[in-house]
Amino acid sequence: MSRRVAFSTFLLLFVLIQVGAQHLLAQPAPDSARIRLRTVTFDPLAGEPAIPATRRAVASESSRGAYLVQFRGPVQEVWKAAVQQLGGQLYGYVPDDAFIARLDGATAEQVRALPFVRWVGPYHPAYRLAPELAAASVEAGKIVTVTVQTFPDADLDTLAARVAEWGGTVEGQGANPAAGYVRVALPSDRLNDLTSQDDVLWVEPYFQPVALNDVGGGTIMRANQVRATLGLFGAGQIVAVADTGLDVGTTGAAMSDDFEGRIVQGQALCALSGLRNAWSDLNGHGTHVSGSVLGNGTYSTSHPATHDYTNSFAGVAPEAQLVIQSIDSNGDPSLECIPADIDTSLFTPAYNLGARIHSNSWGGPTGGTQQNPQYGGYTTDSQQADAAMWQHRDLLLLFAAGNSGIDANADGAVDLDSLGSPGTAKNVVTVGASENVRPELPGTWGQSFQGFSAEPIASDLLADNPSGMAAFSSRGPTDDGRIKPDVVAPGTWIISARSHDPNAGTGWRVYNQDYVYMGGTSMATPLTAGAVSLVREWLVRIKNISDPTAALMKAVLLGGAADMSPGQYGNGSKQEVPAARPNNVTGWGRVDLMESLSPPAPRQIWFVDNTTGLATGGTAVYTLTVGTPLAQSAEQAGIGRTARTAGARVTPSPSVLLPAATASPARLLATPALPPEGQPLRSVPAAQPAAPTGP
């Protein structure tokens, strides 16, 4: 919503709907439906695209292969069941109203005859290769590193052996209930052979992720007030951080006192790839972000025994516990040890240790090349993140939006469309960076970063206005039209814990032997993860919800976000933050814990964590009775979505019911007429449009 209205009784309605929506666009009529892939969009009833014979699938009556099955409108569960009863298997969703399926030729004919099936056709090898890999600019014979997605029951060892025969190497593999994944490096002239394998569904370039580099959390996000008024410190919460490691990598006395005694487990994920079997922090990034989440500030002025963290460098949730997952082998910004399947090898192990919040300050481009990267796409990593949250409904993943913001045309306004992956995922909280307040520290955007030569950005200090954005913070939208980031938090001149490993870096500047300054959406993300820890503690301890869903945690967080419009450059042609919310600069705004958890009277918070969910076409109705008239009511919908197929494309419709990402505030319902006092205000429907779920 673009403004707040003071009511005698303010109801912030969180309608949490756990459904398997692939997307929330109004469904096209059957005669206008399309198959929307990243490689091509076409109406199959008007004919398939021209494909060379060598790139087409050959159908067989007896052998099973990959097909596309398109239904006649929003997909019903009984329709999917009918296909499966005939022997077909449905996998990833493809807009509009279609699924990738595994069928043999005879079954394909039977499925084609079903009255609710619009079209059945082969899923050709030509559809399975990302356009940038199919381009003529890819040098023949050049070794390229790619991520391969397969059917979930594919024999990955056999595929790996085939890659070796072609002169390639396998860098990692894994599988979850949705798909199998293999990361391989092979000659580019073997890519067509790779996509011709029956079990291969999608091949995209792999970009090695990089790390996306006090006042911020305690004052601007108002964690200090939440601690003082609600007694929330993160106690009982376990947060996982996947990053470069933690301090000296031990749970013993040598560990930094800011963390000692609260480490559930340290994991050296590089050991899975035969690399470094230690979780010490050779870079310094992981220690800093962990400190922002839950460092207790012992080396500054805090007194944890008395819950006193005032004026210290404690993180937002200083009494939470930590699972640290080291994904760095050599201390440079590139992260060599991201698993091929981040669902089963990264998120699930942390979940099994009790973590219900997972903070990730890393990411990369979504397409293009290293020289000309592209952003905003829905990648395999994005899909895996969504799949993880679909499998674990009470696990909230947070990802940095990226540091790719730039004013490329030097018009004095930061450009849109720079969002990195996995921050393009639907269900995760994607975090951008706002400015901190440390005007005494040096540097302007024009002096410190390339791409900001024009005013008013060039001469603006890096940390002098909490209502301003960090210029480097990546902006949305996603390529399929969703609004991102979800929220922002301070990300410039952030002071936090320093790694005591002798080889560790020192970030932007050294504060002392125990703390350093750093900046980036990397720093905004753990501050937000700490805020989510306090949200979850509030839900569990104060609201008596024993196992809150990720959708509820996200909705509560976003519901209190502070409106930053117009930003720090006024309302003119250089306006930094749009007036409407959500928007592709700040999302719903800057994290504000007091507004999320304890808004000033007479406002109140009312929410429902609907864990049973709705099927396609279902509704849930909530009727509220208020004592005095309201001017408006707000509905916040949290939609738990299954992951879309990575090779699929969603084209925005002009009629969008719920344009925001999962669990984002969806629409403002104005009340045209006020009822008499004591009468029901209105019935607020939580209507769910077409919601095809994964099989």
- The DSSP annotation for 504-556 comes to ---TTEE-SSSEEEE-SHHHHHHHHHHHHHHHHHIIIIIS--SS--HHHHHHH
Tokens describing residue 303: 């007194």
Residue 501 in this model has a pLDDT that exceeds 50: yes
CATH 3.40.50.200 residue ranges in the chain?
210-548+561-593
CA distance 428 to 358: 10
Tokens describing residue 540: 């569990």
- Three-state DSSP class for 657? coil
Task: Please tell me which residue, 660 or 522, carries the higher pLDDT value.
Answer: 522
Handedness of CA 576, 580, 582, 584 (dihedral sign): negative
Position 645 confidence tier, pLDDT thresholds 50, 70, 90 = low
Tokens describing residue 165: 């025969």
Residue 578 in this model has a pLDDT that exceeds 90: yes
Q: Which residues contact 384 (CB under 8 A, 6 or more apart)?
A: 176, 178, 181, 341, 342, 343, 422, 643
What is the average pLDDT across 297-320?
94
pLDDT of residue 676: 30
Residue 137 in this model has a pLDDT that exceeds 90: no
pLDDT of residue 485: 98
Residue 665 in this model has a pLDDT that exceeds 60: no
Mean pLDDT (the chain) is 84
Please state the CATH superfamily assignment of the domain spanning residues 131-205 in this structure. Answer: Peptidase S8 propeptide/proteinase inhibitor I9 (3.30.70.80)
523-541 pLDDT tens trace: 999 999 999 999 999 999 9
Intra-chain end-to-end CA distance of the chain, in Å = 35
Position 292 confidence tier, pLDDT thresholds 50, 70, 90 = very high
What is the average pLDDT across 618-626?
80
Position 687 confidence tier, pLDDT thresholds 50, 70, 90 = very low
pLDDT of residue 487: 98
**How far are the Cα atoms of 40, 46, 90, 153 from residue 59, in angstroms, in the given order?**
21, 20, 17, 20
Position 333 confidence tier, pLDDT thresholds 50, 70, 90 = confident
CA distance 377 to 420: 8
Residue 646 in this model has a pLDDT that exceeds 90: no
CA distance 630 to 132: 53
* Helix and strand numbers, DSSP H then E, in the chain: 14, 30
Identify which of 7, 3, 24 has the alpha carbon closest to the alpha carbon of residue 668: 3
pLDDT of residue 627: 64
pLDDT of residue 31: 60
CATH 3.30.70.80 residue ranges in the chain?
30-127, 131-205
**How would DSSP label each residue in 576-645?**
-S-SSSSBTTTBT-B--HHHHH-PPTTEEEEEEEE-S---TT---EEEEE-SS--SEEEEEEEE--PPBP
Class (C level, CATH) for 30-127: alpha beta
Please state the CATH superfamily assignment of the domain spanning residues 210-548+561-593 in this structure. Answer: Peptidase S8/S53 domain (3.40.50.200)
Residue 16 in this model has a pLDDT that exceeds 80: no
CB 535, CB 557: distance < 8 Å: yes
pLDDT of residue 142: 86
What's the predicted TM-score (pTM) here? 0.83
